[in-house]
Structure 1
Amino acid sequence: MGSPTSKDMALAVLVPLPLNVLTIIARFWIRTQRKAWGPDDWAMVATIPVWVVSQVGMIGMAWSGVGQLDSTLTPQQKANSNFEFWCFTLVALKWSLGFTLLRIGDGKKWVQGIIYGCLALVTICTGGTGMYLFFQCTPVEKNWWPETEGSCQPREIQTVLSFLVAAVSITTDWIFAMLPFGLIWKLQMGARVKASVIGLLGLGIFASIAPIVRLKYLLLMNDAAKFLQGLGIILAWAQAEVGIGLLVANLPACRPLLESAIAAFTSTISSKDKSKTGATSAAGKSSYLELGERDPTKKGNSMASRGGVETKVYGTYLGDGSNESLPQPANSQERIIQKQSQNQIHVQTEFGMEFENKQRGNSHHGPAGY
């Protein structure tokens, strides 16, 4: 294959690639085993094809001429150097991250408003920029073959849109990274669990570094003679954002494996403490909390359950020919457990009951409860 024409792009793609693949596999395996599949997992499934196409394109560009002066490249190299698909990958990744935050948002309206607002902004600005880059030339083939007769929009428009994409990425990365603090801090979870979830989701702050650095090089695209040379640096940082973003989206789901690995490396305790830790560890594995779940061992915990328990009381006719009898079975069903709101259930523990002994004159009427 030879050496890459843009080492920055080659490193930005190949370094995070193994970790991305491993975390994707681990995520799907854990969620399947725990039967905890959710919308964020479906969003990641939709992200994978877009991400694969982007990675293949980035690798091809890194070895085809990107990073070199335009005048030193052949027409074929120039054609192979104009395949930008990372915008669509970034949009799909943001949706997966957004659904992850919705999973722990507990149905709060203000959380849904913020997340859906960010996702709409990313989709319009970043996805719209990707569409513009594809259709900026007439005919479209001129994007890849500059010698083709036709016209393209000024490079300055692409530069302005690139600044917009970077600004939106930075803003949404910080919002998504800081939101877990407000969502998880008051949940009925152990301090260690809170710290791990907040830490994993807070890695989005590092993802925001890439678009910040990318801002420095965006003006290089205005120089037609050095367009592909500057594009190599810009796409390298764009790919770094995608690689880190994919890790941030997958790591919260991989928390059981991460906690097991950390426990294995930190098991340097005395034998007495080891026996206690062993019991605690075993309990910890069985009581592992998925995102959005509450710790049942915490006092004051009110777990919101979409299912519920329904108790039905049935009555039958008396068999002695008495005129007084219980209602029909279909009419005597009473729900003594009722869901009053999203996070509360009401249990009716008192009820009235009448019964009549078959021996005449020995009847009893009165309330009963438990």
Structure 2
Amino acid sequence: MAIIADDAPNLAGSVITLTILAFMTYGMRMYCRISRKSWGAEDWIMTVAVVPFCVLVAGCLGGAFNGIGIHNWRLQQPENVKYQAGGQKFFLIFEVGYCAAIIPIKLSISWMLIRVAEGRKMYIYTQYAVIALFTTMNIIALIFILVNCIPVEAAWDTSLLEKGGHCQPAHVLTDVYYATTAVNIVTDWLTALMPIPLLWHVKLNHAAKVSIVGLMSLGILASVSACVRLKYTVNLTNQTDYLFAVANVVIWGFAENAVGMIVGNISTLRPLFRSLLDHTVRKPGYGSRSRGGPSKLASSYELSQNGKSGNNFTTTLSEVRDGHGTRRNSQLSDDDSRKLIFQGHDNRDILVSRQINIAYD
């Protein structure tokens, strides 16, 4: 049995949509990293984040069908009284899942930036400070949520309060939410803006810099979700229509985690996007930047994109013309090209041209 009314459909729809996008981008991330043999520490961390993220999804979807987002007058009807306790139980699961999931999700993004920094101590130490700040704050919030009511079941079973149970006043929990959200917003912005000075002096063309910085700065979207959630945090003190009031807290709290996961995954998919572009826009066998027009080299002459850079190779196609205008095309090393040029031909009017196509990440 389930109850769907008021804001519950909005909660369910938002959670389902963002969950699908999060797992789709995670699957693409796995394919991209495994196929290119570039699996790293940040990928393991994001994989670990999937477990608490699933707990978060369970809390949000379970709450959407068991009272969260439902007006109190509807829950007071005899057939719906059971959803009052159910909604509060799933809200507690949401709180635990939120704090547990956001730590590895943000840690994965931060770790990727640390790898990009490549030994630049100022950026690395800044990111370590960011990691320490948001990890500590969210762990404190998680501990507080678990001990907010003693026993824990008192959070949804009011009969335990009459038997000696105890819960902290609502405004105390609200203050913890405000502090945690503020820390998450600050660290989101620091993480999102760090790629700009980090890549400012890197030798890349302007378009490449803009695309990389844009991808890595998408974390601002997660910060926007946190900012919106901050507006609704005051609803935690609502005593007359509690489960309806906290629906927006759940929606935007889940969005903060889901968008963070989506952004973290998308930032690793640039090689996959470029590969799709090569297969759909560019014709096979043609170079993208050739002064003399399209390259006539076959795709087999390009730098291998399979595996790590240690397994790559470069192939040279030499075009040789002798004094009689005869042309020979061959796949040769530099030494073999010289032998071919001077073997059995007049040294005059010899033209040698080479073209090397290099595909890289």
Using structure 2 for the length normalisation, give the TM-score: 0.72
Q: Structure 1's 273 and 33: CA in aligned 2 closer, same or farther, altered over 3 A? A: closer
- Which residue number in structure 1 is paired with residue 64 of structure 2? 62
CA contact (8 A) 1:9 1:239 kept: no
- Which residue number in structure 1 is paired with residue 197 of structure 2? 182
- Which residue number in structure 1 is paired with residue 248 of structure 2? 233
Within the alignment, does 1:18 sit opposite 2:20 as a pair?
A: yes
- Which residue number in structure 2 is paired with residue 256 of structure 1? 271
**Whole-angstrom CA distance in 2 between matches of 1:2 and 1:66:** 9
Within the alignment, does 1:221 sit opposite 2:231 as a pair?
A: no
Query: Which of residues 185, 198, 212 is equivalent to 1:197?
Result: 212
> What per-residue deviation string (whole Å, max 9, x for no partner) do you get for residues 208-255 of structure 1?
111111122111211212221121011101111111101111112211
Deviation at 1:19, TM superposition (A): 1.8
- Which residue number in structure 1 is paired with residue 152 of structure 2? 140
- Which residue number in structure 1 is paired with residue 332 of structure 2? none
Segment drifting more, 103-112 vs 153-162: 103-112
Deviation at 1:168, TM superposition (A): 1.1
**Whole-angstrom CA distance in 1 between matches of 2:235 and 2:110:** 32
- Which residue number in structure 1 is paired with residue 126 of structure 2? 114
CA contact (8 A) 1:71 1:225 kept: no
Segment drifting more, 236-245 vs 76-85: 76-85
> What per-residue deviation string (whole Å, max 9, x for no partner) do you get for residues 318-355 of structure 1?
xxxxxxxxxxxxxxxxxxxxxxxxxxxxxxxxxxxxxx
**Whole-angstrom CA distance in 1 between matches of 2:212 and 2:203:** 13
Q: 1:306-317 counterparts in 2 under 5 A?
A: none
Match of 2:160, SS state, is coil
CA contact (8 A) 2:189 2:219 kept: yes
- Which residue number in structure 1 is paired with residue 353 of structure 2? none
Query: Number of paired residues?
Result: 289
Deviation at 1:120, TM superposition (A): 1.3
Query: Which of residues 199, 207, 227 is equivalent to 1:212?
Result: 227
Segment drifting more, 119-128 vs 44-53: 119-128
- Which residue number in structure 1 is paired with residue 84 of structure 2? 78
The structure with the greater share of residues assigned to helix is 2
Q: Structure 1's 134 and 25: CA in aligned 2 closer, same or farther, altered over 3 A? A: same
Deviation at 1:78, TM superposition (A): 2.7
CA contact (8 A) 1:174 1:205 kept: yes
Output the amino acid matched with 1:55: V
Output the amino acid matched with 1:255: R
Output the amino acid matched with 2:15: V
CA contact (8 A) 1:181 1:198 kept: yes
Using structure 1 for the length normalisation, give the TM-score: 0.70
Segment drifting more, 279-288 vs 25-34: 279-288
- Which residue number in structure 1 is paired with residue 138 of structure 2? 126
- Which residue number in structure 2 is paired with residue 323 of structure 1? none
Output the amino acid matched with 1:93: I
CA contact (8 A) 1:47 1:89 kept: yes
Output the amino acid matched with 1:188: K
- Which residue number in structure 1 is paired with residue 357 of structure 2? none
CA contact (8 A) 1:69 1:225 kept: no
Match of 1:125, SS state, is helix
Match of 1:225, SS state, is coil
**Whole-angstrom CA distance in 2 between matches of 1:226 and 1:284:** 65
**Whole-angstrom CA distance in 2 between matches of 1:61 and 1:189:** 48
**Whole-angstrom CA distance in 1 between matches of 2:232 and 2:300:** 52
Segment drifting more, 76-85 vs 258-267: 258-267
Q: Structure 1's 248 and 284: CA in aligned 2 closer, same or farther, altered over 3 A? A: farther
Deviation at 1:154, TM superposition (A): 0.6
- Give me the identity figure in percent: 27
Deviation at 1:110, TM superposition (A): 1.5
**Whole-angstrom CA distance in 2 between matches of 1:281 and 1:58:** 49
**Whole-angstrom CA distance in 1 between matches of 2:280 and 2:4:** 38
CA contact (8 A) 1:65 1:78 kept: yes
Output the amino acid matched with 2:34: T
CA contact (8 A) 2:3 2:67 kept: no
Deviation at 1:279, TM superposition (A): 6.9
- Which residue number in structure 2 is paired with residue 29 of structure 1? 31
